[in-house]
Structure 1
Amino acid sequence: MESFYDNVSKESLIYLGITLFCLVFVYWAISILLKRLGKNPKYLLPDGSFKKLALPLILIFVSVILRINALRNVLSLEESEYWFKKSSTLLFIFAMTWLVIALLKIVKQVILRNYDVGETDNLKARKIYTQFTILERIIIFVVILLALGLALMSFQEIRELGISIFASAGVAGIIIGFSAQKLIGTILAGIQIAIAQPIKLDDVVIVEGEWGRIEEITLTYVVVAIWDKRRLIVPTPYFIEKPFQNWTKTSSAILGTVFLYVDYNVPFDKLREELTQILNNTKLWDGEVNVLQVTESKPNYVEVRALMSAKDSPTAWDLRVHVREKLIVYLQENYPESIARTTRLTIEHKDENQNGS
């Protein structure tokens, strides 16, 4: 009898040793492959990629070892087979979820490092960043949800309870569905933003009368950084259902306008020459658009619009402020009578001799 147990123990040790050797070999082969890929510029991986994958890979190997009968035989824990297998299943699900999320983040880093949002013409980079940021969160949400479902369904009691609840709770399911309708709609709006991209990260928008940049896009809300450092939190369905202004939808370049209200006797040609000189003397102007037009005439004033271009919206704002100030100073110094006034009052001085008669 003792020789039988000795044989079983020896066979278990052999199987366990072979399994450990195979797992260590696989782990070593994967580590060598990843490190060599990291040295090749063509397959260059971000720093710390192997460290991010190492621990979940080790946990996967441990879950495989826990499922081997040889380990229980060696430890004389044959009666604990259920708990070993259950622990192995839960550990495997957890490790695979961790591995998928880690791989997703590495893939995101590899792709996004080829795009620089800091460039002046960063439209393509912002598109890629927006898509990957939203899709990454969607995938992580789905993966965690599936992992949680698989972990719970691995317990027979919970599985039977779930089946009985689903079979007898049709009305409750409909009520829950209606209750979750808004949440589902919000998540679908986030997915639609990732695909259609009415907004992108770093876009300049006007939302609810506020000027700002898109700072963060999640599945349920969007953060708009207002120019005065406030943050406007907007639900994602807003950008699908309501109109808003996007100043950088197709390009970061933008036109700026300056309106002046002047008298009818203003010399428009001189004003155009001054606008050209102002633009030529500032680095804020990109050299593309330089137009001055009379856009409206009223009984007491004439509306003049100066149109100019800049490389992006913050620069356009600074350019508009600069041009407005310079044009007003020019009128004050050279043509003060051309500044619009609300009322006119003409006083005629008569000769004193005529008054005496």
Structure 2
Amino acid sequence: MFERYDPRNWTIAWDELGTAALAIVLASAVAYVLYRVVFAVVIRLARQSDSPVDDLILQRIRHPIKWSLIAVAVTVAAQNDPLMHQYWEPVAQFVRPALLGWIAYSLVKAFTAVLELRLDQAADPVAVRSRRTRIAILSRTATIAIIIITIGLMLLAIPSVKSIGTTLLASAGLAALAIGAAAQPALKSLIAGLQIAITEPLRLGDLVVVDGHTGRVEEIHMAYIIVRTWDERAIVVPTAQILDHSFENWSRKNEQLTGPIFLHLDPIAEIDPIRAEFERFVGEHELWDGRTAQLLMTNAYPESIELRLSVSARTIADVWNLRCAVREHMLAWLRKEQPEALIRHRLEVEAANQRVGQ
């Protein structure tokens, strides 16, 4: 009924375990030494280059390469040891996809860092924003794909999951419809993100107006976009909304804009002196880029007139500051030189009483 206890069986088992453990230690040590030697040579060769690209790539991939070499060494050692192979092979079915995914992920991050490093050396800010947007979206897309494939390969190592996958493949039509319906929002965001990277309706750093909010594009993700307003609020905009609805992009090609200043004056105002003072002030201002400085009467009402003063500057921030400066100066000049041009709607009770008393 019960097997007889035999000390020799235990001795054989401990010997086999000791041999397997020794093989693992020796294989790991050989792989680690090989890793140190190879990387010492590669790092020495990389230091001879003036470009920091080699250092960035080596820094990103050295750890996954180290553990991958150790895993390969243990796998080779397990081929010659039945006991070790019995226990290592089930674990290796999870380790191998994980290490491959780690290497692919590290390579994507390394090349992303290299491309961003080269962007810092570019002179054109618009081209920099365009390339940085493409790099961000495409690197996130590649990262998501690597994670999904890695997890899928690891799950296929589980027999029950593998059998479920085979059953689903047998009914591929129904599975495709179900998965497509469930993943429609995610797929829509993924396609929208790729389309933004290709067509570039907006880029990182662009000044946009979305749903009445004005701000800079701070982050672009596959599912949403972060717009940072002037008062430091973060507006979260779904990526698909950018393609489905219209929005304003104030820095599509460059940041040179023309901004208006509106003055509402009394019809008695003399326009020529106002125009001359406006052109003099703008022409002497340091923020003006020399492109546009124009004053036009755009509307006339029974009790007022509307003057539009247009100015331009090199950047959007300069346009805003120049508009504020022009508005402040022109109102001060009108109060001093043409006070009758300013519209007044006041009830002066004391002056009216004095006139009645006379």
* TM-score, normalisation: structure 1: 0.81
Query: In structure 1, the residue corresponding to 2:119 is in which secondary structure?
Result: coil
Is structure 2 residue 297 aligned with structure 1 residue 294? yes
Residue 72 of structure 2, aligned match among 55, 64, 67: 64
Residue 188 of structure 2, aligned match among 185, 190, 196: 185
**Aligned equivalents of 1:303, 1:261: Cα separation in 2:** 5
The 3 A distance-change label for structure 1 pair 314 and 276 is: same
**Residues 253-272 of structure 1 correspond to what in structure 2 (within 5 A)?**
253-272=256-275
Query: In structure 2, the residue corresponding to 1:234 is in which secondary structure?
Result: strand
Counterpart residue number, 2:338: 335
Deviation at 1:18, TM superposition (A): 9.5
Counterpart residue number, 2:221: 218
Counterpart residue number, 2:58: 50
**Aligned equivalents of 1:105, 1:36: Cα separation in 2:** 22
**Aligned equivalents of 2:63, 2:55: Cα separation in 1:** 17
User: Residues 215-259 of structure 1: CA distance to partner in whole angstroms, max 9, x if unpaired?
Assistant: 111000001111111111010011101001100011122111111
Deviation at 1:324, TM superposition (A): 0.8
**Aligned equivalents of 2:242, 2:311: Cα separation in 1:** 29
Residue 113 of structure 1, aligned match among 114, 117, 120: 117
User: Residues 32-88 of structure 1: CA distance to partner in whole angstroms, max 9, x if unpaired?
Assistant: 2244224412464456x5343221001111121121146753xxxx13424312323
Residue 210 of structure 2, aligned match among 197, 207, 211: 207
Q: Which amino acid aligns with 2:41?
A: I
* TM-score, normalisation: structure 2: 0.81
Is the 2:203–2:217 Cα contact (8 Å) retained in structure 1? yes
Deviation at 1:168, TM superposition (A): 4.5
Counterpart residue number, 1:102: 106
Is the 1:300–1:342 Cα contact (8 Å) retained in structure 2? no
Is the 1:20–1:65 Cα contact (8 Å) retained in structure 2? no
Is the 1:262–1:338 Cα contact (8 Å) retained in structure 2? yes
Would you say how many aligned residue pairs link Structure 1 and Structure 2?
Answer: 328
Deviation at 1:308, TM superposition (A): 0.9
User: Residues 92-140 of structure 1: CA distance to partner in whole angstroms, max 9, x if unpaired?
Assistant: 2212222222222221222222324997x51111111111011111000
Residue 45 of structure 2, aligned match among 36, 43, 46: 36
Is the 2:126–2:253 Cα contact (8 Å) retained in structure 1? yes
Counterpart residue number, 2:91: 87
Counterpart residue number, 1:5: none
**Aligned equivalents of 1:85, 1:54: Cα separation in 2:** 25
**Aligned equivalents of 1:101, 1:57: Cα separation in 2:** 12
**Aligned equivalents of 1:98, 1:165: Cα separation in 2:** 28
- Stretches of structure 1 that go unaligned for 5 or more consecutive residues are 1-9, 344-357
**Residues 231-242 of structure 1 correspond to what in structure 2 (within 5 A)?**
231-242=234-245
Deviation at 1:314, TM superposition (A): 2.0
Query: In structure 2, the residue corresponding to 1:233 is in which secondary structure?
Result: strand
**Aligned equivalents of 2:144, 2:174: Cα separation in 1:** 27
Deviation at 1:193, TM superposition (A): 0.8
Is the 1:199–1:246 Cα contact (8 Å) retained in structure 2? yes
**Residues 169-184 of structure 1 correspond to what in structure 2 (within 5 A)?**
170-171=173-174, 173-184=176-187
Is the 2:189–2:240 Cα contact (8 Å) retained in structure 1? yes
The 3 A distance-change label for structure 1 pair 146 and 194 is: same
**Aligned equivalents of 2:51, 2:45: Cα separation in 1:** 11
Query: Which consecutive segments of 4 or more residues in structure 1 shift more than 6 A?
Result: 16-20
**Aligned equivalents of 1:312, 1:322: Cα separation in 2:** 15
**Residues 125-136 of structure 1 correspond to what in structure 2 (within 5 A)?**
125-136=128-139
Is the 2:78–2:84 Cα contact (8 Å) retained in structure 1? no
**Aligned equivalents of 2:248, 2:98: Cα separation in 1:** 44
- Deviation larger for 108-117 or 18-27: 18-27
**Aligned equivalents of 2:275, 2:122: Cα separation in 1:** 35
Is the 1:252–1:311 Cα contact (8 Å) retained in structure 2? yes
Is structure 2 residue 281 aligned with structure 1 residue 273? no
Is the 1:46–1:109 Cα contact (8 Å) retained in structure 2? no
The 3 A distance-change label for structure 1 pair 165 and 29 is: same
**Aligned equivalents of 1:34, 1:308: Cα separation in 2:** 56
Is the 2:279–2:293 Cα contact (8 Å) retained in structure 1? yes
